[in-house]
Homo-oligomer: A and B are copies of this chain.
Amino acid sequence: MKKPLALIFSAFALVCAADVHAADPLPSWNDTAPKKAITAFVERVTKPGSPDFVPGPERIAVFDNDGTLWAEQPMYVQVRFALDRVKALAPQYPEWKTKPPFSKLLSTPKEETVAVSEQELMEIVMAAHAGMTTEEFSKIVSDWIATAKHPKTGKLYTEMVYQPMLELLAYLRANGFKTFIVSGGGIEFMRPWAEKVYGIPPEQVIGSSGKLKFVMVGDKPVLMKLPEINFIDDKAGKPVGIQQHIGRRPLAAFGNSDGDLEMLQWTTAGNGARFALIVHHTDAEREWAYDRTSHIGKLDKGLDEAKTKGWTVVSMKEDWKTVFPPPR
């Protein structure tokens, strides 16, 4: 028995090995520098015996969402959601017809972009996101994202995720990384769909949040969303959010704007091998082209710092074979 069994197992091992090497885990990436940098880093930290080997539980990778995992132009998806909520709620608030910023929104056609200040946006988000339970809000988000479409492409927002980044998430997970979202967007806005779309479970989503209150409604406990800011997970808030939620410095961080700068700084300041990558929106044809002067997703300091610190910069136009997943 010994010999035939050994032969079978050897053959099996050969097939497996061949499979692993044959399949490109990042098929939507061109064979340019960023792809090579990613795979070289992953090999460095995962290969047993490598001087930079990192045990599985410490392999933490953090990803910004807007502009890094999905499109953010011409307006953050969550802002579009908040506007739709304001329109849906308007009949209950007749005073909004004349009260800015609500009046401004209500008089703008759906397909047009509305310019609102940060302060106004906060008012809108508070009105659209609070005064209900976490479960009610989650259902509203789920229902909205199932049908809401991008004003320019007509695609579902969840179809405007970046195929190369989906492959990257899967590749990292296959190499023992735990993948987290660390976004300025609302934590409760992302959780209802992040698992299905990105394979990232709710407990690995970090974002901005409002305060919650535990309340008994009869004998049923609920968590009410209060119209009060709890945490802003942006810029210098990102390393804070990472520490509060993860408690471990990431090995690798992925962003696209100056809002991610501190997250990349914090990640790469750790000991041992670290990796930072910036998605540079250079593809006006397949997506959008914007950086130093953009109102949304401004990337200015990050581009400079990437150069001096040797961070990987992905040019969407040059480095990605495809941008969005093929239609299903």
Contacts and interface: CB of A to CB of B under 8 A. Distances in A.
Interface of A: 1, 4-5, 8, 57, 60, 134, 178, 187-188, 191, 195, 201-205, 209, 212-214, 220-221, 223, 230, 236-237, 239-240, 243-248, 262, 265-266, 269
A60 B202 CA distance: 11
B1 A202 contact: no
A221 B134 contact: no
A57 B247 contact: no
B187 A247 contact: yes
A240 B213 contact: yes
B195 A57 contact: yes
Please name the 10 residue pairs, one residue from A and one from B, whose CB atoms are nearest each other, closest first.
Answer: A202-B247, A214-B236, A203-B246, A191-B247, A212-B240, A214-B239, A202-B248, A221-B265, A221-B266, A221-B269
Contact of A57 (B4, B178, B201, B239): B201
A221 B262 contact: yes
Given A57-B195, A223-B239, A269-B221, A214 B262 contact: yes
A212 B243 CA distance: 9
A243 B223 contact: yes
Contacts of A209: 244
Contacts of A236: 213-214
B203 A248 contact: yes
Contact of A4 (B1, B203, B223): B1
A230 B237 CA distance: 13
Nearest to A192: B247
Contacts of A60: 203
Nearest to A248: B202
A305 to B, nearest CB: 11
Given A134-B243, A213-B240, A214-B240, 6 more contacts: A57-B201, A187-B247, A188-B247, A203-B248, A209-B244, A223-B240
A220 B178 CA distance: 25
Contacts of A188: 247
Of the listed residues A4, A202, A230, the one surrounded by the most CB atoms of chain B closer than 10 A to its CB is A202
A262 B223 CA distance: 11
A309 to B, nearest CB: 10
A236 B222 CA distance: 11
A276 to B, nearest CB: 13
19 contacts: A1-B8, A57-B201, A60-B203, A188-B247, A202-B248, A203-B204, A203-B245, A203-B246, A205-B247, A212-B240, A212-B243, A212-B244, A214-B236, A214-B239, A220-B269, A223-B239, A223-B266, A230-B244, A245-B245
